[in-house]
Structure 1
Amino acid sequence: MVGVAARKPIDPVEVRASVMAVAPWLLDDSANEPSRAELAAAVRLTARSLAQLAPGNSVEVRVPPFVAVQCIEGPRHTRGTPPNVIETVPRVWLLLATGLQDLDDAVAGGQVSASGHRAPAIADLLPIIPLDRGTPA
């Protein structure tokens, strides 16, 4: 049997650098939007960091078009739509990943789709790279 190659560990320095590259836009929505490459890097690295922090397959976090990761220990889901899904757009994901927005507020405001009883468990793992409104960008 051929095994799947293990994904290399996420470098926290690289994650922080990718977030700092988009921080001005996260801190001020009137700032210029980052390049697609900068946005993709920040989204992918923060989502993969989440998966590394909480390995498992019971919750799927989707940030189209850039990434979908599975995380949180529990029942493995392999076919069709998983029962526990968090889905949002890149900017909202990055606001969550930096602690600039609260998951419950984002769900209540319709910015995040959350299904299944395990999905809210990611709130305990956020922020991944904390920023605050006073962070120099």
Structure 2
Amino acid sequence: MPPAKKRTRSYDPAKIRAAVLAQFGNVRAAVATLTPEQLALPTRLGDWTVRDLVAHLGMTLRAVSRLVGLPEPAQQDGTLLDWPFAIAAEAPDIAAYAKELAERHPDPDAYLAATEERFTADLDAHPGTRLLATSAGALPLADYVVTRTVELVVHTDDLNAAVSGLDIRYDRQALAACTRLLADALAAKAPGGSTEVRVPPYAVVQCVAGPRHTRGTPPNVVETDPLTWIRLATGRVTWQQALQDAAVSASGERADLSAYLPLMT
């Protein structure tokens, strides 16, 4: 796990809650339109079908319900920036559980509706300071809800890619939080100040060891759009692919981020 000693960005809990519910609502509205044939389509996530992916999108919120049901840790020992690097270890169990949920809940719309209702009740019942025993260590509930924006935005993109003609909208606050958390994770994984990574309009971070830039135009600059950045950070697109497609611009000898990507898969 890379060092995560940098100051963690703060997020407004009320705005994050609204963003998570808005993005989940966008997903719910789209899923309600899917036919059985579309639910059976393959996705870019190994052997997952669209139905499995929908089940996993529900797991995004069900995870909160599961964690608040566990004993509260005595003290916080993780940070928000630890989470992207810890999630990979859970991937096999997550995949298996998604398939189990998909089989157990043949009506995806009802499943997502019940999941949202329970999630809202859990947030109403617990303060943001309530600690949760996550794979990244003990984190406050408010911080863990920020990680839900990453899961929802990333898998909304997976769902859009899987179903031709589907165009689920991205809530602006959810997209912003997802972009910022993954940009900050890059800065934690590759600490330094020689390269500036710009993801307008949401994030700018300094990273990569080397001479620190202080004034004027940085000598090493990477710039891309939010969805391309998220795809790079999660391994949906490779660095070389993004360069070839002109989806990312990189200038300077320390502007090659391929050694640090993806951040999470």
Check whether the contact 1:58–1:118 (CA below 8 A) recurs between aligned residues: yes
Unaligned runs of 5+ in 1: 1-5, 131-137
What secondary structure, in the 3-state scheme, does the structure 2 residue paired with 1:119 have? coil
Moved beyond 3 Å, runs of 4+: 13-16
User: Within the alignment, does 1:7 sit opposite 2:10 as a pair?
Assistant: no
Match of 2:264 in 1: 129
Residue-by-residue CA offset, 1:52-98 (whole Å, 9 max, x unaligned):
11110011110000010010100011111111111000010001011
Alignment of 1:51-130 (within 5 A): 51-120=187-256, 122-130=257-265
Q: Identity rate of aligned residues, in percent?
A: 46
Q: 1 or 2, which has the higher helix percentage?
A: 2
Match of 2:174 in 1: 38
Q: In structure 1, what residue type is equivalent to 2:7?
A: R
What secondary structure, in the 3-state scheme, does the structure 1 residue paired with 2:156 have? helix
Unaligned runs of 5+ in 2: 1-5, 9-78, 84-135, 137-143
Instruction: Give 2:154's match in structure 1, choosing from 4, 23, 33.
Output: 23
Match of 1:135 in 2: none
Considering only CA atoms, is the larger Rg found in Structure 1 or Structure 2?
Answer: 2
Check whether the contact 1:16–1:129 (CA below 8 A) recurs between aligned residues: no
- Could you state the TM-score of these two structures normalised by the residue count of structure 1? 0.83
CA distance 1:41–1:82, change in 2 (3 Å): same
CA RMSD of aligned residues (A): 1.7
Residue-by-residue CA offset, 1:22-45 (whole Å, 9 max, x unaligned):
123321243412200110010000
- Could you state the TM-score of these two structures normalised by the residue count of structure 2? 0.44
